[in-house]
């Protein structure tokens, strides 16, 4: 920050995935940083990313080609300026990760000495990867850097509750963020954390659905908290369903990476018939929304619980070398992918909308920044192009850190403590678990891959009843992680449904039987509250 920060409060980053750690590492040489992780530091979404990260690196690639691929996947709603900005900085993002020590799969003949693969929607090979566990390799590397940095304090099992804003200080001034109320889960105590800036990097909302590839942490916390504080939210109707989640009674959230199809794996019915040619000329390499809808169609048409992804023709040696994580995990579950096709189903995977930010991570609320899957920058449009997500985390993480660094410094301010004077300990935890289960089933049945207006209206009605029950519970009892997550899931579910109801067309990830056509032109769906509030 541009004045002396000797007396300044730290920057508080909520979320310890790639987005949060990128911001932290770019700020820590000049500012104290506190990073909060709701569960363990290894339990976020980043470490589950198998495929890789986009880099415009090779001679047969270009920024314009990457922008075009992003726009095609985004079905007419990509912000071209955002796509170009992020593509232009993709090479620098890869170089930074290499400099941090990320062990990408090498290729002596490849650009930067890296092996590049190809995924659905990409016209060329441009995906840098670390075998089939890219996210894990990146996250472990950056987390080790953060642990070693003297200016970064890492707090496990801490969860943001709400922001501390001007309203809490009873100030007559434009709304501003001054810190965050955060729950120390182990101590069962909410503390007030003053902050020079707060960064939301909490990931997406996948846990609103019954079936998802997301970790337990993906409960929409950052989106819900920012919404309650008065920030705009955009494009929440566009929830990406990954076409190929492993279908298995024991393992319900194991992702089978897009890269396996990129290397030639084929989708088949149980009788061995390939079916993607009936749905798109790009077949298995069509964008994810098309592949997911095709699988959903074939499952319903034939009364199937799953379809099959056949990689046997790629050979055991190739599969072990390029997809060791998938090979090993499937083998543990009794599936030898070199000799058996993999049973797969679509599952909620990525949130393409979120908190509206600029390309420096600024939200509508001064002092509050957001980065990664929590946000809407305009990059993903109506459907995310594979492997653009990790890239966005690094590029916007760096620019957000620069914006925080250059922001006007505010002296530390005494903030009010969390008020628990009117609440008591709960003795009815079953209310939370019941409402959680009902919400996720409602979202899966009524707000899934194929939607109708009637289904959406039913979902909205039920969500609001559950929200009212949960708000009453929240007002009476001390908070815990389950209650806070349910509260946030209900908020984000309502945002998804309201956004879906307002889009009278089918586009990208949003498909409505009542509006099966795509309009000649369309705009992002932007929801706004009438006034700032942290209640």
* Residues belonging to the active site: 288
- 69: tokens are 């691929």
The upper half-sphere exposure of residue 230, i.e. CA atoms within 13 Å in the direction of its Cβ, equals 19
- Closest listed residue to residue 405, CA positions, set 9, 7, 11, 6: 11
- Closest listed residue to residue 511, CA positions, set 234, 290, 206, 352: 290
Maximum Cα–Cα distance across the chain = 69
E-state strands within 298-452: 307-310, 342-351, 354-356, 368-370, 375-376
Contact status, residue 475 vs residue 487, Cβ threshold 8 Å: no
Residues paired with 189 in a beta bridge: 184
Contact status, residue 448 vs residue 349, Cβ threshold 8 Å: no
- 350: tokens are 């990525």
- 397: tokens are 């993480």
Contact status, residue 31 vs residue 10, Cβ threshold 8 Å: yes
Per DSSP bridges, beta strands 375-376 and 354-356 are parallel
8-state DSSP, 338: T
- Closest listed residue to residue 300, CA positions, set 73, 513, 505: 513
- CA 275 to each of CA 49, 90, 256, 509, 513: distance values in angstroms, whole numbers, following the listed order: 27, 35, 19, 20, 22
Strand arrangement, sheet containing 239-246: 239-246, 342-351, 307-310, 266-268
The upper half-sphere exposure of residue 72, i.e. CA atoms within 13 Å in the direction of its Cβ, equals 16
Contact status, residue 92 vs residue 57, Cβ threshold 8 Å: no
How big is the chain by its Cα radius of gyration, in Å? 22
Per DSSP bridges, beta strands 33-37 and 152-156 are parallel
- Closest listed residue to residue 509, CA positions, set 227, 261, 287: 287
- Closest listed residue to residue 235, CA positions, set 49, 82, 458, 397: 82
- Tell me the C-alpha distance between 380 and 80, whole Å: 10
H runs (alpha helix) in 149-264: 166-169, 221-228, 258-262
Contact status, residue 267 vs residue 284, Cβ threshold 8 Å: yes
Contact status, residue 323 vs residue 132, Cβ threshold 8 Å: yes
Contact status, residue 218 vs residue 207, Cβ threshold 8 Å: yes
- CA 118 to each of CA 58, 259, 387: distance values in angstroms, whole numbers, following the listed order: 12, 7, 10
């Amino acid at each position: 920050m541009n004045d002396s920060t000797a007396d300044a409060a730290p920057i508080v980053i909520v979320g310890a995935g790639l987005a949060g750690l990128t911001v932290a590492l770019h700020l820590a040489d000049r500012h104290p940083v506190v990073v909060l992780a709701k569960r363990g530091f290894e339990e976020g979404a980043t470490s589950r990313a198998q495929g890789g990260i986009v880099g415009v690196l090779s001679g047969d690639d270009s920024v314009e080609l990457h922008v075009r691929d992003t726009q095609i996947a985004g079905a007419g709603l990509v912000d071209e300026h955002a796509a170009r900005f992020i593509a232009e900085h993709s090479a620098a993002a890869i170089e930074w990760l290499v400099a941090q020590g990320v062990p990408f799969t090498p290729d002596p003949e490849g650009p930067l000495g890296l092996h590049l693969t190809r995924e659905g929607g990409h016209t060329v090979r441009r995906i840098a990867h670390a075998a089939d566990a890219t996210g894990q390799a990146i996250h472990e590397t950056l987390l080790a850097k953060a642990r070693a940095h003297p200016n970064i304090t890492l707090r496990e099992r801490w969860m943001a509750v709400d922001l501390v804003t001007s309203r809490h200080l009873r100030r007559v001034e434009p709304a501003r963020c001054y810190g965050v109320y955060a729950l120390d889960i182990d101590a069962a105590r909410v503390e007030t954390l003053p902050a020079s800036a707060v960064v939301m990097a909490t990931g997406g909302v996948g846990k609103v659905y019954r079936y998802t590839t997301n970790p337990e942490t993906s409960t929409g916390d950052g989106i819900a908290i920012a919404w309650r504080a008065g920030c705009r939210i955009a494009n929440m109707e566009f929830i990406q369903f990954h076409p190929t989640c492993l279908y298995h009674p024991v393992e319900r959230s194991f992702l089978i990476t897009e890269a396996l199809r990129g290397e030639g794996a084929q989708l088949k019915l149980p009788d061995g018939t390939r079916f993607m040619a009936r749905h798109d000329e790009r077949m298995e390499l069509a964008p994810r929304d098309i592949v997911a809808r095709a699988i959903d169609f074939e499952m319903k048409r034939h009364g199937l619980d799953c379809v099959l992804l056949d990689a046997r023709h790629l050979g055991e040696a190739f599969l072990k070398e390029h997809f060791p994580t998938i090979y090993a995990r499937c083998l543990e579950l009794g599936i030898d992918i070199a000799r058996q096709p993999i049973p797969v189903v679509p599952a909620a995977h990525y949130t393409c909308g979120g908190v509206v930010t600029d390309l420096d991570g600024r939200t509508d609320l001064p002092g509050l920044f957001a980065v990664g899957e929590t946000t809407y920058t305009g990059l993903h449009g109506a459907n995310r192009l594979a492997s653009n997500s990790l890239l966005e985390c690094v590029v916007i993480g760096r620019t957000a850190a620069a914006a925080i660094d250059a922001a006007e410094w505010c002296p530390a301010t005494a903030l009010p403590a969390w008020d628990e004077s009117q609440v008591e300990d709960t003795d009815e935890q079953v209310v939370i678990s019941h409402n959680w289960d009902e919400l996720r089933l409602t979202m899966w049945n009524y707000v899934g891959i194929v939607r109708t207006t009637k289904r959406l209206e039913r979902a909205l009605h039920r969500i609001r009843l559950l929200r009212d029950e949960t708000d009453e519970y929240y007002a009476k009892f001390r908070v815990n992680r389950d209650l806070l997550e349910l509260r946030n899931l209900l908020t984000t579910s309502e945002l998804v449904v309201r956004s879906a109801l307002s889009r009278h067309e089918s586009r990208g990830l949003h498909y409505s039987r009542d509006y099966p056509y795509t309009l000649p032109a369309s705009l992002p769906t932007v929801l706004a509250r009438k006034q700032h509030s942290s209640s």
